[in-house]
Structure 1
Amino acid sequence: MSKNKKTTGDTYLGVGIGIGLPLGAVLGLLIFDELAIGAGIGLVFGITIGTAIDSENKKE
């Protein structure tokens, strides 16, 4: 085992937030005519999906 081995935690959480916010913002502008509502919904979905993928990878 190497002492200098980097552990990457919450990688998919960041990816989920990074993808969920812009997609939610666009959908919010198209559906609700409100940027903040869509961004909030996208943020929630991004956090949920990213956390689920992270926890699934930690089980292995």
Structure 2
Amino acid sequence: MKFVNKTTIINKIKIVVFVILKRIKLFLIKIVYFAIQNQLKKWDRITQNWGQILNQLKIAFEEE
């Protein structure tokens, strides 16, 4: 009968958990990156009535 050290089993489980968490973390970072890139594509569009919007903002914030 072979004796299995409990700390060895715990360490192996810990390594597996850390590997999984690292992959999840990288996956979440990629999701956030692609979401930002998707929004940046939309921001490149020309805003209609920008002059009117700018004038309203100047009035609202009293910019000279």
TM-score, structure 1 length as denominator?
Answer: 0.44
Higher RCO (CA 8 Å, separation ≥ 6 residues): 1
Larger-Rg structure: 2
